[in-house]
């Protein structure tokens, strides 16, 4: 199963933070007088359920700070750091937690602080730091004596690995949680995380409904309503995946009020986004619009991008169907920003995982090399007391060892360079990804501005690509994308900047290219794409709509050129697709004549003039 759209979700972000350090850790602190130990135990137990009471308990403990033992003072620092993170002050919480993680003598409290750091760093998109702390915590796992601390680390490891797409590893860690006797509240957390990993992985999909129901029953008995509502969300997602829209709506609406009560914005925004999508598929546009707007309100507060992507996409489609093109264009721009940001974030997570993994391997290799060098020194001392022939044999052996180390270091360096290249290239087509395209295009435009040379931007969007995916499958869709890129590359110059901006949309910056030449080259691309076969075994015909913007009319600002070209592309789509449209500030008969000379037809759409000027439509003569 290919997990896409609303099914690419962050699971339980903040749940481990809310649980923090269960009461079992109290036993690791020094004995306290009077009822101090009970105050600590009570505070650990009620973080998630009654935060107002939790704040009162912290205040009582702070009033006794002068009488607390050193162990209790570190415990109090951790509780204060947890509350700071709960309030969303992650930078301040990070410095407080790092002090506990590096200075507290108690290993269990240190590892609790690291586990909470992993959580807030993941929420803050600091993935490389999060994986670095995770690596430290897992190294210390055999030395952890407190069961709840161990379970906390395993839970954080599982959910961070799910975010990085490492589902098998995540399932392995949840299995360790579920096989721990008397795991308490972590049993339900383990069930929820494992179900999420298996659902995303897409294997054993036929058995997932029964697993959902079993997990739901166990979490209801445990009273963990956040886990219960999260499992219900995935049950609704599975129902939608199977085309049972009414079942999905029933699950979401029946539990909507419960989700609002727990005040967890991420989950609330997911429920709203899924309801919007379900009502849209069922044909209820007004309800779809209502829940899409609610999604934008909720997701904007929490910074959770995935429901926001779906909401903007639906609002764009609704506004377009209503004929409100201005609103549709605004929603489409927000959708593209949110979607591209989410794709970049996903790449960062996977890359951070691989980079940290490579760094750990490099450290191990360096340690091995130092050990080998020590062995070499010892052997050289021994060689003074042995025969010449024996010494030569040892030297040859040592040289072989050094050559092996050099070979592995070389391979490690090649691997690191490959990951750097992956960060700049689109994984499917091999051309620039959006971020690197923007960097290269801005550099090219700065050079053009200094030398007062014109440049042009072409945006290409494949027509009816979703229909190709739905009809022939994603494998054929991928072939279409790769074929279109190959066709374009045959018509590009060495100085042109070519990149994939997202989905089926591509951008080409043409340095030292006038608007007239850009029209000719865009038309060549359009004809070539339309004439290119995809696969003899699959009867698919592809076409593309192209939008052009030139620095002659829109200055050298890349953002302005993208907006102008996108406006022209939108016009090409609206006027029937498979055509070229240029967005210009003024239109002269000379340029129209040049277009006709090249076998193109120019049409002045003066009635559709925007703030950037007029759009001219160039379509091939039939």
Q: What is the CATH number of the domain that holds 114?
A: 1.25.40
How many CB atoms neighbour CB 558 within 10 A?
20
Identify whether residues 169 and 93 lie together within a single domain: yes
Identify whether residues 438 and 356 lie together within a single domain: no
Using the 8-state DSSP alphabet, how is residue 588 labeled?
A: -
DSSP string, 130-162: HHHHHHHHHHHGGG---HHHHHHHHHHHHHHHH
Identify whether residues 454 and 552 lie together within a single domain: yes
**Domain boundary pick from 129, 156, 181:** 181
Q: Is 477 a member of any domain?
A: yes
**Residue pair 491/532 in contact by the 8 Å Cβ criterion:** no
Would you say residue 552 has pLDDT above 50? yes
Tokens of 379: 């052997």
Place of tokens 């091939």: 620
Using the 8-state DSSP alphabet, how is residue 493 labeled?
A: -
**Residue pair 268/260 in contact by the 8 Å Cβ criterion:** yes
How many CB atoms neighbour CB 166 within 10 A?
19
**What's the pLDDT tens digit per position in 271-321?**
888 898 999 999 998 998 898 888 888 766 655 677 888 888 888 888 888
Identify whether residues 27 and 141 lie together within a single domain: yes
Backbone phi, psi, residue 175, to 5°: -65, -35
Distance CA 72, CA 32 (A): 8
What domain range is 602 assigned to? 434-620
Identify whether residues 537 and 441 lie together within a single domain: yes
285-298 b/e with 16+ CB inside 10 Å = b?
eebbbebbebbbeb
Distance CA 458, CA 515 (A): 10
**Domain boundary pick from 424, 459, 480:** 424
Q: Long-range CB contacts (< 8 A, 24+ apart) of 470-476? A: 472/538, 472/540, 474/2, 476/534, 476/535, 476/538, 476/540
Place of tokens 């429920």: 271
**What's the pLDDT tens digit per position in 54-77?**
889 889 888 988 888 888 889 989
Q: Whole-prediction pTM value?
A: 0.46
Confidence of residue 173 (pLDDT cuts 50, 70, 90): confident
| Candidate from 8-12, 36-40, 218-222 with smallest mean pLDDT | 8-12
**Domain boundary pick from 120, 154, 181:** 181
| pLDDT of amino acid 180 | 85
Identify whether residues 491 and 407 lie together within a single domain: no
**Residue pair 11/193 in contact by the 8 Å Cβ criterion:** yes
How many CB atoms neighbour CB 421 within 10 A?
10
Q: Is 349 a member of any domain?
A: yes
Return mean pLDDT, the chain: 78
Confidence of residue 610 (pLDDT cuts 50, 70, 90): very low
**Residue pair 14/3 in contact by the 8 Å Cβ criterion:** no
Helix (H, G, I), strand (E, B) or coil at 466: helix
Beta-sheet strands, E only, within 97-139: none
Identify whether residues 175 and 67 lie together within a single domain: yes
Place of tokens 């359009």: 526
CATH number at 557 reads 3.30.70.270
Distance CA 484, CA 462 (A): 8
**Residue pair 47/22 in contact by the 8 Å Cβ criterion:** no
Would you say residue 467 has pLDDT above 80? yes
Beta-sheet strands, E only, within 512-555: 544-550
DSSP string, 351-371: HHHHHHHHHHHHHHHHHHHHH
Distance CA 435, CA 390 (A): 59
- Which of the pair, 112 or 421, is modelled with greater confidence? 112
Tokens of 616: 């001219």
Total structural domains in the chain? 3
Identify whether residues 418 and 497 lie together within a single domain: no
| pLDDT of amino acid 20 | 45
Identify whether residues 58 and 175 lie together within a single domain: yes
């Amino acid at each position: 199963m290919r997990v896409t759209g609303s099914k690419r979700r962050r699971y339980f972000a903040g749940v481990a933070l809310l649980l923090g350090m269960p009461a079992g850790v109290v036993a690791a602190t020094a004995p306290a007088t009077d009822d101090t130990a009970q105050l600590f135990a009570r505070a650990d137990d009620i973080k998630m359920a009654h935060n107002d009471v939790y704040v009162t308990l912290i205040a009582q403990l702070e009033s006794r700070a002068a009488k607390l033992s050193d162990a209790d003072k570190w415990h109090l620092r951790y509780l204060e750091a947890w509350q700071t993170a709960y309030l969303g002050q992650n930078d301040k919480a990070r410095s407080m937690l790092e002090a506990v993680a590096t200075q507290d003598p108690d290993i269990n409290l240190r590892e609790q602080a690291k586990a909470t750091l992993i959580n807030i760093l993941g929420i803050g998109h600091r993935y490389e730091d999060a994986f670095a702390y995770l690596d430290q915590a897992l190294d210390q796992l055999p030395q952890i004596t407190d069961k709840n601390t161990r379970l906390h680390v395993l839970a954080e490891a599982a959910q961070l690995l799910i975010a990085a797409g490492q589902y098998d590893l995540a399932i392995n860690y949840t299995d360790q949680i579920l096989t721990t006797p008397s795991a308490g509240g972590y049993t339900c957390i383990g069930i929820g995380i494992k179900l999420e990993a298996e659902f995303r992985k897409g294997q054993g999909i036929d058995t997932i409904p029964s697993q959902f129901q079993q997990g739901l029953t166990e979490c209801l008995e445990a009273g963990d309503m956040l886990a219960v509502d999260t499992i219900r969300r995935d049950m609704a997602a599975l129902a939608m995946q199977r085309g049972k829209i009414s079942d999905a709506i029933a699950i979401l609406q029946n539990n909507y009020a419960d989700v609002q009560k727990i005040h967890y914005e991420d989950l609330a925004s997911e429920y709203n986004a899924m309801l919007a999508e379900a009502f849209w598929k069922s044909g209820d546009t007004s309800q779809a619009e209502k829940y899409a707007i609610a999604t934008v309100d909720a997701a904007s507060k929490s910074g959770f991008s995935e429901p926001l992507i779906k909401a903007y996409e639906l609002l764009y489609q609704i506004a377009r169907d209503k004929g409100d093109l201005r609103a549709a264009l605004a929603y489409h721009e927000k959708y593209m920003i949110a979607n591209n940001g989410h794709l970049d974030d996903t790449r960062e997570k996977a890359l951070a995982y691989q980079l940290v993994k490579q760094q750990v391997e490099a450290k191990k290799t360096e340690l091995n090399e130092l050990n080998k060098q020590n062995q070499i020194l010892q052997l050289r001392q021994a060689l003074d007391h042995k025969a010449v022939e024996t010494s030569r044999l040892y030297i040859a052996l040592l040289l072989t060892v050094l050559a092996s180390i050099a070979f592995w270091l070389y391979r490690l360096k090649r691997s690191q360079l490959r990951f750097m290249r992956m960060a700049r290239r689109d994984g499917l087509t091999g051309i620039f990804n959006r971020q690197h395209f923007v960097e290269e295009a801005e550099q090219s435009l700065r050079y053009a501005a200094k030398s007062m040379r014109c440049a042009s931007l072409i945006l290409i969007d494949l027509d009816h690509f979703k229909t190709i995916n739905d009809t022939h499958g994603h494998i054929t869709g991928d072939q279409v994308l790769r074929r279109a890129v190959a066709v374009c590359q045959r018509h590009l110059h060495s100085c042109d900047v070519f990149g994939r901006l997202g989905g089926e949309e591509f951008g080409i910056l043409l340095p030292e290219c006038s608007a007239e030449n850009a029209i000719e080259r865009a038309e060549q691309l359009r004809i070539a794409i339309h004439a290119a076969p995809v696969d003899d075994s699959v009867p698919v015909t592809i076409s593309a709509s192209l939008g052009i913007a030139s620095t002659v009319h829109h200055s050298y600002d890349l953002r302005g050129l993208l907006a102008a070209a996108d406006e022209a592309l939108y016009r090409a789509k609206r006027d029937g697709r498979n055509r070229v449209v240029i967005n210009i500030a003024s239109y002269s008969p000379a340029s129209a004549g040049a277009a006709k000379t090249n076998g193109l037809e120019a049409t002045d759409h003066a009635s559709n003039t925007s703030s950037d000027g007029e759009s001219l439509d160039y379509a091939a003569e039939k």
